[in-house]
Structure 1
Amino acid sequence: MNLSTARSASRAKEVGMRKVLGSHRGVLIGQFLAESLLTTFGAMLLAAMLAVVLLPYLNELSGKSLQLTARHILWLAPAVVVTGLLAGSYPAFFLSSFEPIKVLKGRLAGGFRSSWLRNGLVTFQFATAILLMIGTFVIYRQLGYIRNKQLGYNREQVLVINNTRPLGAQAKGFKQEVMQMSGVQGGTMTASLPVRTDNSTNIFSKDATNSPGQVVGIDEWFVDADYIPVMGMKIASGRNFSAALPTDAQSIIINETAARLLSFTDITGKKLYTGGQPRPIIGVVKDFNAGSLHNKIAPMVFSYCDCLDNMAFRIDPRQAQATIASIEKAYESREGMTGQPFSYYFLDEAFNSLYQSEMRTAQIFIGFAVLAVLIACLGVFGLITYAAEQRMREIGIQKVLGASVTSIVAMLSANFLKLALFAAVIATPLAWYLVNKWLNNFAYRMEIGWGIFAWSVLLMVLITLITVSFRAVRAALANPVKSLKAE
């Protein structure tokens, strides 16, 4: 709409001449709508070609296997008609309304200040672009906050081996062999990992009779004596499990959240009961974030277990590839393990995968933000072109009277800065509400400062100034003789 209307000055005489020669307004409207439909049809063909090229990227981004068929292209036909009619309606009625006498005399009705619809469209585009910019900044800041937050354990350089259950009775021997390797700094056998969200819940009681108010459900983790040091966790009070103490098989360690839930300020002599059996509490581990930061730290109980589900080894990053190859060789050399798949992953990669949805959202927001800014710039360019055409005589008179290029550019830019700032007033509160609603999905989130909103608005203003200046400078440098020769 804006670009078509911006061309009105160059087509005004065409419309005036056709009206003088007998063309009815309906014929002119039909011509402009047909031109808009033809442009939209060409855009649809271009969009279809771009879709074919960009579909692999979309599949990678969404994790889907979408395919584009001829039927999908045919479904766009109604969209082409609706979009073409909507985009062409205002220019068609606007251009066809020109009065021949005024047009042929060089006086066009409706200056910049009266074009409320065009101004409204540009303001909407500005507001959308600012909203998407703020959303993009917030999402990336939150992802950075997640990556840098101290979780209470060290997820870096921890190699997790799946499919260790087939090792059976050889598991402990395999673990000891791996721990003797030069690139391995520690190892553990466990059924529970900090990046897992499927840990089991057990019922514990503070007394043997399961009295009302004394029974709680707590996540139960099954770990061995090496688990806490390998994961880089810290003991807050008491001690860790010891493989040299057989009694530790019935003992438990709780986290700080569980201690607060149970109102234990001192664990000395404290027990929990499950299945009627007493479980002495020997230690309290400092709180750590298990799973994603969408959830608060839950109460946890560690039970001693040489579990076969997984093995995790902290390795030297300088020898990572050689160490993994040595571990794989040791795994396959065990009796009965020939043909068993050697499957592994790193703990930090599993942690990052918990936020795939957020990462995809961030990438989508970047794409839409770029498109929104581009479209807004096109709208602004159309509007400044129209404004410059409408005010050519005014600019010419100002130049004759001594106005500088800078003052003329500032005059033409002022209205667009007002539109950008008005859009910021609309977009900023809406963005604040939406990003806060999104951040509320996280139990641990960044604090939103005013800087994100300020930088987004400043960036939009800067882009606007660059776009406006490109056309405004050209208008300011134009020879005033050309615009004033008929006066």
Structure 2
Amino acid sequence: MISNYLKIALRNIYKYKGYSFINIFGLATGMAVAILIGLWIYDELSYDKHHANYNRIAQVMQHRTFNGKIATHKSMPAVMAEEIRNNYGSDFKYVLQSSWTSIHILAHGEKKLSKTGNFFEPQVIDMLSLKMLKGTQASLNEPSSIILSESFAKSFFGDTDPMDKIIKLDSKTDVKVTGVYEDLPYNSSFRDMNYVLPWQLYLNLNDWIKKMENPWDSNFSQTFVQIADNADMEAVSKKIVDIKRKKTPRENSNAQVFLHPMSKWYLFPEFKDGHNTGGRIEFVWLFGIIGIFVLLLACINFMNLSTARSEKRAKEVGIRKSIGSVRSQLIIQFFSESLLVVALAFLISLVLVYVLTPSFNELADKKIAILWTNPIFWLLGITFSIITGLIAGSYPALYLSSFQPVKVLKGTFRVGRFASVPRKVLVVLQFTVSVTLIIGTIIVFRQIQHAKNRPVGYNRDGLINMYMMTDDIHKHFDVIRNELINSAAILDMTESGSPTTEVWNTNGGFDWEGKDPNLAVDFPNNGVTQSYGKTVGWQFKEGRDFSKEFASDSSAFVVNESAVKFMGLKNPVGKFVKWNGTPYKIIGVIKDMVVQSPYSPVRASLFHISGSAESVVILKLNPEKNSKESLDKIETVLKKYNPAAPFEYQFVDQEYAHKFGDEERVGKLSTFFAILAIFISCLGLFGLASFVAEQRTKEIGVRKVLGASVLNLWQLLSKDFVILVLISCFIAIPIAYFYLNGWLQRYDYRTDISWWIFAVSVAGALFITLLTVSFQAIKAAIANPVKSLKTE
């Protein structure tokens, strides 16, 4: 019996090839989108969960009030871990100090690589549950040891056993390989940790840490903890809130220390005014809703076309009932056909996902794959397929199977004037979703473009950053600079404490005339050489640049216009600002330079002449020379004076472009889903237009005989669909405005929502609708009326 039902179902699929293709492929596309989004959400929600102690690990963070606002920081004093262990040891299993993940040069023989890694206290192996492939849990106990990730060890040593090999670190010190650990997954907060070095070695290499008068004054490292098995995260967090205030009440009287659980690092990283405001979790909700709606569109198509075609099968039902078929058999027949179509769609969707996954991963910056061995994945897929098949098949199965064969075969059966109403409602719902996605995509890209067009206050063209891991460039700075300028490879060169696209250093301890004595401040304060302004092309509003001709510039500041505004200085040039009691004279005011988020206000910033080696070298390439030739010349000169370091650089304009990464990724994904939503909606519209044209074949024939033109008939068949889409647009516009206006509020520097965005979206939706419907409408309109009016 079952095989008979399947044979009839396959015959019907084959008989109505066009409708079957639209049904199956449309549903498969929707399922594929839903699966891709589901895999993306699964990856987002499983971030860091491979760590065995995921629910008990946290990072120590602090809220501090500076410049009249509460700011939240991850940076901690280097003594924080020891202080917590000494005073609250029973509440913690591990308390570990760590450096930031940063680039270092590792050399073995002739091979030199610069890779990112961390200095960590030895217990990191246990806390992060690193799987040691070689070595033991005690591999970091010696200060001169290093453990490598599996992939890094492979790229560095090939098939040779790396154990006990000696590596030169930053041309300064030798470390011995004492372990190799399995690579951390891509969805890990520590995925860029290619190696781990002992924290004690970091202290040994940086004498300035030991020489600090008050180690609580400098926040330059990170502190990670694992709470005790019987401890509560929130309760422990409340215990340590005053730990910093007690140590330095004057400087840190407003510091509030707290624990930020690992479960919130990735999805809830953002803070405002001391409160956790979310973060990427918003994207999870956004794409989850989009996935549901795109799948809903596909299901609507399937149900619309299934119910539309079912009305054509009324005579089949009448004949089958007249020769003895009972209602239960007809119900099973219709359900089996529906379930077969859904099953085929599900199989095709898996193929689509398999094919699209590499491109989707590149677009979304992921490494996801179909969860072939995950029973929950199959359970959800099969359950959804069955539910969709049953819902879509319920109308023909329950409604058509109840027909009286006498009425059907006499021709007195009528479907009813309201039979098409549910289909029209579903079409309106489809295009409401599609138009909302179109509007959203336009506004996301408009916001990105708005920020990209923001004046940055300096010239990024031909500017490159190089990060210094040795002192060699600093020692030979003047010689290298002169040689490169004389070769015409560069226009100028400078050292800086921060790259032009980041803030690495901030300081407090500033005082000026008229300052509120109770106001705690924290300003970006960048140490640079005299050629910095000429190299980056900053723009002066008042005063002058640093110059070697003025020895007094060693105690001078160049400030930005935000600093002048914040300090309330009138005629700032010539005024003095004290830094830790030492007076610095303001010699110039520059336009604000956008070096952090392009969506946020520029912070009050100061620049001073540095007296020591800085972290970054910035070069301005000569625009009149070929960039490749200039870079080759720079590499030759640097290898002569800095042989220990590989020649690596980043173009500033590319680094700045990375700041738009999350928004551009959201925009591209939204575009991808919007196109698929429109495609699915148009598939359904095409199928319904075809059905309507077929249903009104005789009417069209009569109208043509009576003199109706092709244009008249095209208008007749298109009018209803245009009205439905217009209704969709009027519903979509307020919904899109409400949600997107709320999304824009998270940015301080944001675009506005112009009326033309809605006009373009409506016009686009109408154009797509007419394009989709017109094919069937014109095809029906130009058909020979003689064929249309022939009896069956």
TM-score by length of 2: 0.58
Contact 1:5 1:95 (C-alpha < 8 Å) held by counterparts: no
Work out which of the residue numbers 175, 178, 188 in structure 1 matches 2:494: 188
For 1:26 and 1:171, the matched residues in 2 are separated by 90
Specify whether residues 268 and 366 from structure 1 end up closer, same or farther in structure 2 by C-alpha distance, changes over 3 A only. closer
Match of residue 177 from structure 1: 483
Q: CA deviation at 1:213?
A: 4.7
Contact 2:364 2:669 (C-alpha < 8 Å) held by counterparts: no
Specify whether residues 444 and 54 from structure 1 end up closer, same or farther in structure 2 by C-alpha distance, changes over 3 A only. same
Q: Which moved more, 1:118-127 or 1:400-409?
A: 400-409
Specify whether residues 278 and 194 from structure 1 end up closer, same or farther in structure 2 by C-alpha distance, changes over 3 A only. same
For 1:102 and 1:328, the matched residues in 2 are separated by 90
Match of residue 321 from structure 1: 628
Match of residue 204 from structure 1: 510
Match of residue 364 from structure 2: 62
Work out which of the residue numbers 366, 378, 381 in structure 2 matches 1:74: 378
Match of residue 354 from structure 1: 659
Q: State the percentage of identical aligned residues.
A: 37
Q: Which moved more, 1:418-427 or 1:250-259?
A: 250-259
Q: Which moved more, 1:251-260 or 1:473-482?
A: 473-482
Work out which of the residue numbers 507, 525, 529 in structure 2 matches 1:220: 525
Letter in 1 for 2:730: V
Indicate whether 1:312 and 2:614 are aligned: no
Letter in 1 for 2:537: G
Letter in 2 for 1:328: E
For 2:476 and 2:529, the matched residues in 1 are separated by 16
Specify whether residues 172 and 79 from structure 1 end up closer, same or farther in structure 2 by C-alpha distance, changes over 3 A only. farther
For 2:425 and 2:397, the matched residues in 1 are separated by 18
Letter in 2 for 1:176: N
Secondary structure of the 1:7 match is helix
Indicate whether 1:387 and 2:692 are aligned: yes
Contact 1:332 1:338 (C-alpha < 8 Å) held by counterparts: yes
Report matched runs for 1:214-253 at 5 Å: 216-253=521-558
Contact 2:311 2:415 (C-alpha < 8 Å) held by counterparts: no
Match of residue 11 from structure 1: 313
Q: CA deviation at 1:183?
A: 2.5
Match of residue 475 from structure 1: 780
For 2:631 and 2:306, the matched residues in 1 are separated by 63
Specify whether residues 68 and 213 from structure 1 end up closer, same or farther in structure 2 by C-alpha distance, changes over 3 A only. same
Q: Which moved more, 1:63-72 or 1:116-125?
A: 63-72
Secondary structure of the 1:253 match is strand
Contact 1:200 1:219 (C-alpha < 8 Å) held by counterparts: yes
Work out which of the residue numbers 714, 717, 726 in structure 2 matches 1:412: 717
Indicate whether 1:49 and 2:351 are aligned: yes
* Structure showing greater relative contact order (alpha-carbon pairs closer than 8 Å, 6 or more residues apart): 1
| Greater percentage in helix | 1
Secondary structure of the 1:71 match is coil
For 1:371 and 1:414, the matched residues in 2 are separated by 25
For 2:314 and 2:600, the matched residues in 1 are separated by 63
Work out which of the residue numbers 605, 615, 623 in structure 2 matches 1:300: 605
For 2:724 and 2:504, the matched residues in 1 are separated by 52
Specify whether residues 83 and 172 from structure 1 end up closer, same or farther in structure 2 by C-alpha distance, changes over 3 A only. farther
Q: CA deviation at 1:164?
A: 5.2
Secondary structure of the 1:236 match is strand
Residues 126-146 of structure 1 deviation map (CA, whole Å, 9 limit, x = unaligned): 111111111222222232333
Specify whether residues 387 and 304 from structure 1 end up closer, same or farther in structure 2 by C-alpha distance, changes over 3 A only. same
Work out which of the residue numbers 405, 410, 414 in structure 2 matches 1:109: 414
Q: CA deviation at 1:98?
A: 4.2
Q: Which moved more, 1:168-177 or 1:254-263?
A: 168-177
Specify whether residues 109 and 341 from structure 1 end up closer, same or farther in structure 2 by C-alpha distance, changes over 3 A only. farther
Letter in 1 for 2:324: G
Specify whether residues 339 and 34 from structure 1 end up closer, same or farther in structure 2 by C-alpha distance, changes over 3 A only. farther
Match of residue 246 from structure 2: none
Q: Which moved more, 1:40-49 or 1:416-425?
A: 40-49
Match of residue 331 from structure 1: 638
Residues 235-276 of structure 1 deviation map (CA, whole Å, 9 limit, x = unaligned): 111111112322211111111111111111202441112212
Contact 1:163 1:341 (C-alpha < 8 Å) held by counterparts: no
Letter in 1 for 2:327: R
Specify whether residues 197 and 486 from structure 1 end up closer, same or farther in structure 2 by C-alpha distance, changes over 3 A only. same
Match of residue 22 from structure 1: 324
Match of residue 106 from structure 2: none
Letter in 1 for 2:508: N
Contact 2:470 2:645 (C-alpha < 8 Å) held by counterparts: no
For 1:193 and 1:202, the matched residues in 2 are separated by 20
For 1:91 and 1:458, the matched residues in 2 are separated by 36
Secondary structure of the 1:252 match is strand
For 1:211 and 1:292, the matched residues in 2 are separated by 28
Q: CA deviation at 1:316?
A: 2.9
Specify whether residues 268 and 405 from structure 1 end up closer, same or farther in structure 2 by C-alpha distance, changes over 3 A only. closer
Contact 2:489 2:631 (C-alpha < 8 Å) held by counterparts: no
Match of residue 31 from structure 1: 333
For 1:161 and 1:382, the matched residues in 2 are separated by 59
Contact 1:207 1:273 (C-alpha < 8 Å) held by counterparts: no
Q: CA deviation at 1:462?
A: 1.0
Work out which of the residue numbers 536, 558, 564 in structure 2 matches 1:259: 564
Contact 1:205 1:214 (C-alpha < 8 Å) held by counterparts: no
Secondary structure of the 1:152 match is coil
Contact 2:503 2:524 (C-alpha < 8 Å) held by counterparts: no
For 1:39 and 1:310, the matched residues in 2 are separated by 61
Match of residue 91 from structure 2: none
For 1:64 and 1:98, the matched residues in 2 are separated by 53
Specify whether residues 456 and 113 from structure 1 end up closer, same or farther in structure 2 by C-alpha distance, changes over 3 A only. farther
Work out which of the residue numbers 727, 730, 733 in structure 2 matches 1:428: 733
Match of residue 135 from structure 1: 440
Contact 2:542 2:573 (C-alpha < 8 Å) held by counterparts: no
Contact 1:28 1:92 (C-alpha < 8 Å) held by counterparts: yes
Match of residue 159 from structure 1: 464
Q: How many residues align?
A: 484
Residues 209-258 of structure 1 deviation map (CA, whole Å, 9 limit, x = unaligned): x8625653322122222212221211111111112322211111111111
Contact 1:293 1:443 (C-alpha < 8 Å) held by counterparts: no
Secondary structure of the 1:299 match is coil
Secondary structure of the 1:355 match is helix
Specify whether residues 231 and 369 from structure 1 end up closer, same or farther in structure 2 by C-alpha distance, changes over 3 A only. same
Give RMSD over aligned pairs: 2.4
Indicate whether 1:462 and 2:764 are aligned: no
Letter in 1 for 2:590: V
For 1:374 and 1:183, the matched residues in 2 are separated by 52
Q: CA deviation at 1:106?
A: 4.6
Letter in 2 for 1:324: L
Specify whether residues 304 and 94 from structure 1 end up closer, same or farther in structure 2 by C-alpha distance, changes over 3 A only. farther
Match of residue 101 from structure 2: none
Secondary structure of the 1:242 match is coil
Work out which of the residue numbers 649, 663, 668 in structure 2 matches 1:344: 649
Secondary structure of the 2:602 match is coil
Letter in 2 for 1:292: S
Letter in 2 for 1:408: L
Q: CA deviation at 1:116?
A: 2.2
Match of residue 431 from structure 2: 126
Secondary structure of the 1:354 match is helix
Q: CA deviation at 1:74?
A: 2.7
Q: CA deviation at 1:192?
A: 2.1
Q: CA deviation at 1:69?
A: 4.1
Contact 1:188 1:312 (C-alpha < 8 Å) held by counterparts: yes
